[in-house]
Amino acid sequence: MSSHNIKQVRVIARQLAARAKTDPIFKEQIQKDPVGTLTTAGLPQEFVPDFLRETQLGDVSGYIGQIGCSLTVI
């Protein structure tokens, strides 16, 4: 189980999801390097698969991950 506070992670995830909707360059960076982009932006790595699924950015090439606990980003 993660040591991260899920409420804090959800806040970060929602901010990143909003940014991806309004910033096409950021969205493209997520699509090219989801783990690198999202962890650099503050999202813990174990939540990247949930973020991608919840934001429907999950069909990015080169990324395979396990689905963990739900973030409920949207």
pLDDT digits (tens, 9 = 90+) for 5-53: 999 999 999 999 999 999 999 999 999 999 999 999 999 999 999 999 9
Is residue 27 exposed (0-12), middle (13-18) or buried (19+ Cβ within 10 Å)?
middle
pLDDT higher than threshold 80 for residue 66: no
Which position has the higher pLDDT, 21 or 62? 21
Are 20 and 55 in contact by the 8 Å Cβ rule? The answer is yes
What pLDDT was estimated at residue 4?
74
Overall number of domains in the chain:
1
What was the pLDDT predicted at 2? Answer: 54
pLDDT tier, 72 (very low <50, low <70, confident <90, very high otherwise): low
Range of the domain at 10: 1-74
